Amino acid sequence: MAETILNVEDVTLAFGGLVANRDVTLDVARGEILGLIGPNGAGKSTLFNLISGVYRPNRGRIRFEGADITALPPAERCRRGIARTFQVPRSFDSMNVLENVTVGAFARHAKAAQARAAALETLERVDLAHRADAVAGELTPPEKRRLEVARALATGPRLLLLDEVLTGLTPSEAKAGVALIRRVAAAGVTVIMVEHVMEVVMPLVDRAVVLNLGSVLAQGLPAEVVRDEAVIGAYLGERHRAA
């Protein structure tokens, strides 16, 4: 069996009377691509925020590479090897592309020259090197999503959280995005991705976890999950059943 890189155990987070995640338990194997799916408001982004350290759970534990990181701040989790993107890209729009990615590279390189070199190498990996001198605020939406991925990769993660990086892309752009994610995983980075484009994500992921109303509704191989009656009823809908 593959080694577990991330363990989320009975994690619950409530905002006042609203429970965003309830008793969420899941294990992520090192090297896998895990799809986190579910309807809007299911708690997917909240779970990303818990894993990355933006929020702390009311109860439960989060372990990364065997260590309890439940109380660690985001910067320390990043230093330990967890990076993420955001649903709405958050670039430094007045800085150029290379400078944006260099910011991420400073997580593992103390010297500016080393961080810049690592950033250039990362831009090559994500096919964005030709835009290194472009001002980030002038990028197209697909380029901004790729910039988010580049900045996260520049931190040297072992676990990468991708929040809807394929949403809103044309078919050709989505195909390029899928190829990039496969290259990232092939390089040894474990990936958890939130995505709504089922036709794209299901052939890509090794395993899928479905959240609904803050709880895990189902998990397993993609082919099993999309045939689960509870998943069809809560998320995929009757049109999927007919298809």
Mean pLDDT of the chain: 93
Same domain, 142 and 68: no
101 and 215 in a single domain? The answer is no
Residue with the two structure tokens 């045939």: 227
pLDDT at 240: 60
In a domain? residue 182: no
- Tell whether 46 and 24 lie within a shared domain: yes
Last residue of a domain, one of 127, 156, 185: 156
The share of the chain scoring above pLDDT 90, in percent, equals 80
Whether 189 and 202 have beta carbons less than 8 Å apart is answered as no
User: What confidence tier does 217 reach under pLDDT thresholds 50, 70, 90?
Assistant: very high
Query: What is the CATH number for 241?
Result: 3.40.50.300
Residues 60 and 133 in one domain: no
Residue 16 lies in a domain: yes
What global pTM score does this model have?
A: 0.93
Structure confidence at residue 236 as a pLDDT band (50, 70, 90):
confident
Instruction: Assess whether 146 and 171 both reside in one domain.
Output: no
**DSSP secondary structure, 120-188, as one string:** HHHHHHTT-GGGTTSBGGGS-HHHHHHHHHHHHHTT--SEEEEESTTTT--HHHHHHHHHHHHHHHHTT
Examine residue 188 and state whether it is found in any structural domain, yes or no: no
Quick: pLDDT tens for 112-136.
Answer: 999 999 999 999 999 999 999 999 9
- Domains held by the chain: number: 2
Tell me: do 34 and 71 sit in the same domain.
yes
* Domain co-membership, 62 together with 172: yes
Residues 241 and 162 in one domain: yes
* 215: helix, strand or coil: strand
Q: What is the mean pLDDT of residues 78-105?
A: 94
In this predicted structure, what is the pLDDT of residue 167? 84
Question: Does 105 share its domain with 31?
Answer: no
Q: Is residue 210 part of a domain?
A: yes
In a domain, 190, yes or no: no
Instruction: Write out the residue range of the structural domain in which residue 145 sits.
Output: 86-156
- The whole-number pLDDT of residue 234 equals 82
Quick one: 92 and 64 in the same domain? no
| 129 and 170 housed in the same domain | no
